[in-house]
A and B are shown apart, each in its own frame.
Chain A
Amino acid sequence: MSKRRSLTEAQCVSLAQKLLRERLCHQKLPDRPLALDSQYKHLLELLRRTAVHGESNSVLIVGPRGSGKTMLLGCVLRELMSLKEAQKNVLLVELNGLLQTDDKIALKEITRQLHLENVVGDKVFGSFAENLAFLLEALKKGDKSSSRPVVFVLDEFDLFAHHKNQTLLYNLLDVSQSAQTPVAVLGLTCRLDVLELLEKRVKSRFSHRQIHLFSSLSFAQYVDAVRAQLSLPPDFPDPKFSDAWNHSVTKLCEEKSVEEILRRHFNSSKDFRSLHSLLFLSVSRVSVSHSTLHEADLLEASRLISADSKAIILHGLSILELCLIIAMKHLNDTYDGEPFNFQMVHNEFKKFIQRKSHSIHKFEKPVVMKAFEHLLQLELVRPVDSGVCKVQREYQLMRLMLEHGQVMEALQRYPQCPTDVKQWALSAFA
């Protein structure tokens, strides 16, 4: 007990932060995947049969990004490995379509992960063909009851379908459909149309099992999940601190403005990864002097996350550059989105200076050109790809990469924007 007492507030806060960060950055698997019970059971049962009975299987786990495919698989494998029967019997091979970009690399990786390269002594085996024959021979030798089952995890499964002839997929799935070494082929993908990518022979060998991860969470469940994610576990060393923290979290979730923020997030996406980034930002604001989460933290985090990236760039522009943007916006309105060139923008700008401006200094054309090129570098303006490349810079056709609303909003927030510039932007006619 004395040890627990000795924890200072600062230690508690840093401990709590560490714990939550681990959780929010996906460094630690949750105890149980959220709202994926049936999928969890299905997958576990499937892998258990491969491990225990030596039954070959193939399955695809399909779900949008951030829906917890890898997390689900991680949880299932963790439980599988804790089974006594499976523990020492299962070999795991993990491949990723982004890393193993062709079958040759994938084969080398499989051989390495199965520790087969030592079988031939110091022989560094060379050609792709040899590798394939070698691996197939190895898998062919095994049989259902005596060899150790191999679990192949293919992350970004759709990318493997782009390999030449889909040789790897064919062979893995063929092994899974014939009396050889028992294998389980697990594919993870976010593409719903992944089966259409498979060649007909490959498709026929695939068992057509798909586990879909679509979250059908209601908002109330979502808020519950947020609360669970932010709460400290019961085995936290300082119970007083954790009680206080959990209480504040519960209260926080009931507040109106927090609910609004969460609702907004829930509306834009239901997946947990974007939620985690929101919570992560707010947890980061907790410090010793500020030891509980406040509504303001969430608000600030939400503001940061949902900020429009281009609006931020607009805030850093000079008045001249802003004027050019407004001129382009007017051109866009006048010509219905047709591309424009620098000369047109300059003319528009000159008209504005002559007629209305009182505060804007009259700029030389090269200065305006320089400002325009800066906008080009920021990619707020982009040249239209055209066949003709030898055009003078002033006459090259451009497009504005900003929405009407973005320009207006930026103007509203721009510090010390001259009134006549604002007026000009608001006026329907240039």
Chain B
Amino acid sequence: MSRYITRLRMRRTYKWNGRPVGEDRKLKRQYYESMSISVEGKTEDATVSLGQYILIEGDDDDNPFVAQLLKLYTDDSGKKKTAVLQWFVRMCEVPQNKRKLLGRDPHPQEIFFYQDRSCDNEVDGETILGAVQVGIYVPVQDPFPVGKSRDILFVKLLWDTKSFRALDPELMQPSQSPKSPPPSSRGPQTRALPTPDPSVMKRAMSGILTRGSMSTGKMSSSEAESLHSASKLSAAKALSAKRRSQAVSGPQVRKKLDLCTPATPRTPRHATPSIPSRTAPARKPGNVLEEARARLHVSSVPESLPCREQEFQDIYNFVESKVIDGTGGCMYISGVPGTGKTATVHEVIRSLQQSAEQDEIPHFRFIEINGMKMTDPHQAYVQILQKLTDQKATPDHAAALLEKRFSAPAPKKETVVLLVDELDLLWTRKQNVMYNLFDWPTRRNARLVVLTIANTMDLPERIMINRVASRLGLTRMSFQPYTFKQLQQIITSRLNRVKAFEEDALQLVSRKVAALSGDARRCLDICRRATEICEHSGSQKNSSGLVGMSHVMEALDEMFSSSYISAIRCASVQEQLFLRAVIAEFRRLGLEEATFQQVFVQHQALCRVEGLQPANVSEGLTVCQRLGSCRLLLLEGSRLDLFLRIRLNVSQDDVLYALKAD
């Protein structure tokens, strides 16, 4: 397995202590009582034995997972060491929306007994970092002890993914650990800590460097904060420096060490930018037309999404099944712009989150990225990582961290639903971004559902290389452009009994848009414009006050009619003559391209025919450039002066039609 080496990792070696205590012949397992962990560069080995509380390597270096060791065994090859655990959760691992259930502020060192059957409780033995002290406080009313070391964690309550409950002391007894002393019924009880390894690590991270300050357990808060927000690198440095100081423990080394700690406070990592708020709140819509306009704005969130029921159901079922099974998968959604792809997916997620809220399905995280909203395809990693863990990293580092996150078997993992909008922009030459996005869901422990959205139906065939297309799989869905009936229904449902449109007018809009593109955005924009037109004309003549055919026609005209013809009609006499000269010259040459010199000769002749004073070359060139700048003419090689090449950007018939009419 090619795994990225993402952080400065201590190399640890794991060894069984003593002989196996039991054997399961059927499963070919050999059970052990304890394991010793030797860390490179240290003479003393740490030992973890059954019943002890241990730290498990996780995503967050500062807060490793906590668990109680129940079993240790190896398979018959003797290579793979597996640990069976009882998990504990920290407050930061409890879903955000459930934290308030605790009803009080959690103690910073508080952990909770974790009770969830769906959770995988076997981990690779080599992810164990070391032992940790855990104090058990039953009954609940007892206060937390003050002034104790920061390394001791406390358990009071039980968390069963739905609520916090009082902890039954019986649960805390490891079922088959003969060695562990029985928990006393009153008072805090701390277990012996055979190894200093995790505490050393923690101390190094939190900046306690001297023995004296450790014993008091106090440090200046500013120092702690600055160290906490310092980059990983400096934490790692401090760690390795600490190690060295332990080995040598000379005063000179300590001096050096102090230099490592950054003294200047950093700006907060996540500054919150925001647009200043307005002095007075925005005015609410006053009349029916304004109300209708607000409802018809594309940005307003509709109560329901009509006409996409089938697609909604399909996506819902797909995501729901993946979330329930805790597996992963990919889905590709295509459709022309404005057919409700993103809106439907958002709707699906919203209703799934609702049912997760009511505990009908397990919780999941929803993350959205958009190819258009990033500057470079590799920024996708950065954004995913940031939204997942609030970490900032460079693209390469982020890719490595994500790779690790999605391939490592971690317990208590929520399913992540990732929406990738505008997928085609994530294309790179090697396609590694797409490859990774589609490869992660296939990992055994990833629990990742990827929904991708793009415009073209055949995107996988067209731009993806085989191994990428194959991983994307065949779960495809295509959103057809809306038909006129659907468009009509969309408008009606948006208006929701606000009577502002005549029935015919609505039908006209939807038929027109359906014939052109089937883009719902277009449809809504036209309706909005029509209400404006109606409002303006409504003040003049006392009509019904509803948006009628004429208003809609006017709005349609404004948006769809080509402006070339009116531009030609409003052009000056010389400009019109020049266009005619261009056409005359094209006819003479039998080509669709002429040089300025040729056209200019025609132009002068036409001027004489019309009885105007012929323009000189400079004036002629000015006229020509002006037509070129509004793209009635296409000009090539403006350096060439007289030999400027001229083509028409409008059809000859259009020009003649526009010129004839007046």
A203 to B519, CA, bound (A): 11
A127 to B382, CA, bound (A): 13
Closest to B615 in A: A268
- Is there contact, CB below 8 Å, between B622 and A208? no
Within 8 A of B (CB), among A312-351: 337
Asked if A138 meets B532 with Cβ closer than 8 Å, knowing A167-B372, A178-B299, A214-B566, the reply is no
Closest to B604 in A: A405
Which residue in A41, A178, A399 is a CB contact (below 8 Å) of B643? A399
- Is there contact, CB below 8 Å, between B629 and A132? no
A127 to B328, CA, bound (A): 33
Q: Does B558 contact A (CB under 8 A)?
A: yes
**Stretch binding the partner chain, chosen from B95-103, B268-276, B318-326:** B268-276
A137 to B301, CA, bound (A): 20
Q: Does A4 contact B (CB under 8 A)?
A: no
- Interface size for B (C-beta < 8 A) is 81
Within 8 A of B (CB), among A12-37: none
- Is there contact, CB below 8 Å, between A192 and B297? no
Asked if A212 meets B280 with Cβ closer than 8 Å, knowing A150-B275, A309-B618, the reply is no
Asked if A215 meets B570 with Cβ closer than 8 Å, knowing A193-B631, A306-B619, the reply is yes
Which residue in B278, B298, B616 is a CB contact (below 8 Å) of A146? B278
A54 to B649, CA, bound (A): 39
- Is there contact, CB below 8 Å, between B337 and A201? yes
User: What B residues does A165 contact at CB under 8 A?
Assistant: 372, 425
User: What B residues does A310 contact at CB under 8 A?
Assistant: 617-618
Q: What is the minimal beta-carbon distance from B581 to any residue of chain A, in angstroms?
A: 14
Q: Does A91 contact B (CB under 8 A)?
A: yes
Q: What is the minimal beta-carbon distance from B366 to any residue of chain A, in angstroms?
A: 15
- Is there contact, CB below 8 Å, between B273 and A120? yes
Q: What is the minimal beta-carbon distance from B285 to any residue of chain A, in angstroms?
A: 7
- Is there contact, CB below 8 Å, between B373 and A136? yes
- Is there contact, CB below 8 Å, between A208 and B280? no
Q: What is the minimal beta-carbon distance from A161 to any residue of chain B, in angstroms?
A: 13
Which residue in A178, A201, A268, A403 is a CB contact (below 8 Å) of B572? A268
Within 8 A of A (CB), among B558-589: 558-559, 563-564, 566-567, 569-575
Q: Does A123 contact B (CB under 8 A)?
A: yes
User: What B residues does A371 contact at CB under 8 A?
Assistant: none
Within 8 A of B (CB), among A102-152: 103, 114, 116, 119-123, 127-129, 132-139, 141-142, 144-150
User: What B residues does A386 contact at CB under 8 A?
Assistant: none
Closest to B286 in A: A53
Q: Does B374 contact A (CB under 8 A)?
A: yes
As a 0/1 sequence over residues 380 to 393 of chain A, the CB contacts with chain B under 8 angstroms (1 = contact) are: 00100000000000
**Stretch binding the partner chain, chosen from B5-13, B306-314, B521-529:** B521-529
Which residue in B382, B455, B573, B618 is a CB contact (below 8 Å) of A129? B382
User: What A residues does B532 contact at CB under 8 A?
Assistant: 45
Closest to B271 in A: A120
Within 8 A of A (CB), among B144-179: none
A150 to B274, CA, bound (A): 12
A309 to B294, CA, bound (A): 56
Q: Does A210 contact B (CB under 8 A)?
A: yes
User: What B residues does A178 contact at CB under 8 A?
Assistant: 298-299
Q: What is the minimal beta-carbon distance from B274 to any residue of chain A, in angstroms?
A: 5
User: What A residues does B274 contact at CB under 8 A?
Assistant: 119, 138, 141-142, 147
Closest to A119 in B: B273
- Interface size for A (C-beta < 8 A) is 92
- Is there contact, CB below 8 Å, between A55 and B649? no
User: What B residues does A200 contact at CB under 8 A?
Assistant: 336-337, 455
User: What B residues does A270 contact at CB under 8 A?
Assistant: 570-572
As a 0/1 sequence over residues 403 to 424 of chain A, the CB contacts with chain B under 8 angstroms (1 = contact) are: 1011000000000000000000
Q: Which of B275, B285, B643 has the most CB of A within 10 A?
A: B275
Asked if A85 meets B626 with Cβ closer than 8 Å, knowing A193-B649, A214-B567, A266-B572, the reply is no
- Is there contact, CB below 8 Å, between B375 and A167? yes
Which residue in A204, A209, A264 is a CB contact (below 8 Å) of B521? A204
Q: Does A1 contact B (CB under 8 A)?
A: no
User: What B residues does A62 contact at CB under 8 A?
Assistant: 563
A163 to B643, CA, bound (A): 30
Q: Does B359 contact A (CB under 8 A)?
A: no
As a 0/1 sequence over residues 363 to 377 of chain B, the CB contacts with chain A under 8 angstroms (1 = contact) are: 000000000111110
Closest to A211 in B: B558
Q: What is the minimal beta-carbon distance from B73 to any residue of chain A, in angstroms?
A: 47
- Is there contact, CB below 8 Å, between B383 and A141? no
User: What A residues does B281 contact at CB under 8 A?
Assistant: 145-146
Q: Does A307 contact B (CB under 8 A)?
A: yes
User: What B residues does A138 contact at CB under 8 A?
Assistant: 273-275
A207 to B522, CA, bound (A): 7
Q: Does B52 contact A (CB under 8 A)?
A: no
A103 to B422, CA, bound (A): 19
Q: Which of A53, A121, A264, A405 has the most CB of B within 10 A?
A: A53
Q: Does A227 contact B (CB under 8 A)?
A: no
User: What B residues does A272 contact at CB under 8 A?
Assistant: none
Asked if A214 meets B280 with Cβ closer than 8 Å, knowing A200-B455, A310-B617, the reply is no
A270 to B649, CA, bound (A): 22
Q: What is the minimal beta-carbon distance from A245 to any residue of chain B, in angstroms?
A: 29
Q: Does B282 contact A (CB under 8 A)?
A: yes
Asked if A201 meets B267 with Cβ closer than 8 Å, knowing A264-B613, A269-B575, the reply is no
Q: What is the minimal beta-carbon distance from A185 to any residue of chain B, in angstroms?
A: 13
- Is there contact, CB below 8 Å, between B618 and A89? no
- Is there contact, CB below 8 Å, between A201 and B455? yes
User: What A residues does B616 contact at CB under 8 A?
Assistant: 306-308, 311, 405-406
- Is there contact, CB below 8 Å, between A145 and B267? no
- Is there contact, CB below 8 Å, between A123 and B267? yes
Closest to A54 in B: B282
Which residue in B290, B297, B522, B642 is a CB contact (below 8 Å) of A208? B522
- Is there contact, CB below 8 Å, between B375 and A148? no
Q: Does B630 contact A (CB under 8 A)?
A: yes
As a 0/1 sequence over residues 202 to 243 of chain A, the CB contacts with chain B under 8 angstroms (1 = contact) are: 011101111010111000000000000000000000000000
Q: Does B300 contact A (CB under 8 A)?
A: yes
- Is there contact, CB below 8 Å, between B283 and A179? no
A135 to B375, CA, bound (A): 13
Within 8 A of B (CB), among A24-82: 41, 45, 52-56, 62, 64-65
User: What B residues does A403 contact at CB under 8 A?
Assistant: 597, 600, 617, 642
Closest to A265 in B: B572
A311 to B569, CA, bound (A): 32
Asked if A190 meets B574 with Cβ closer than 8 Å, knowing A89-B278, A145-B281, A406-B617, the reply is no
User: What A residues does B336 contact at CB under 8 A?
Assistant: 200
Q: What is the minimal beta-carbon distance from A17 to any residue of chain B, in angstroms?
A: 28
Q: What is the minimal beta-carbon distance from A369 to any residue of chain B, in angstroms?
A: 24
Asked if A171 meets B273 with Cβ closer than 8 Å, knowing A53-B294, A192-B632, A405-B604, the reply is no
User: What A residues does B525 contact at CB under 8 A?
Assistant: 207-209
Which residue in A119, A147, A212, A382 is a CB contact (below 8 Å) of B563? A212
Closest to A214 in B: B570
- Is there contact, CB below 8 Å, between A132 and B271? no
Q: What is the minimal beta-carbon distance from A106 to any residue of chain B, in angstroms?
A: 12
User: What B residues does A268 contact at CB under 8 A?
Assistant: 572-574, 615, 619, 622-623
Q: Does A267 contact B (CB under 8 A)?
A: yes
Q: Which of B294, B372, B569 has the most CB of A within 10 A?
A: B372
Q: Does B293 contact A (CB under 8 A)?
A: yes
Closest to A164 in B: B375
Which residue in B375, B563, B623 is a CB contact (below 8 Å) of A269? B623
Q: List 9 A-B contacts (CB under 8 A).
A: A56-B299, A65-B626, A119-B274, A136-B373, A144-B299, A170-B372, A191-B631, A214-B569, A308-B617
Besides A85-B280, A192-B564, 19 new A-B residue pairs in contact (Cβ under 8 A), listed by A number: A65-B629, A89-B279, A119-B274, A138-B274, A141-B272, A167-B372, A170-B372, A174-B373, A178-B299, A182-B282, A193-B649, A200-B337, A207-B528, A266-B572, A267-B612, A268-B573, A270-B570, A307-B616, A399-B643
Q: Which 9 A-B pairs have the closest CB atoms?
A: A204-B337, A214-B570, A54-B282, A138-B273, A120-B271, A308-B616, A267-B573, A145-B282, A177-B298
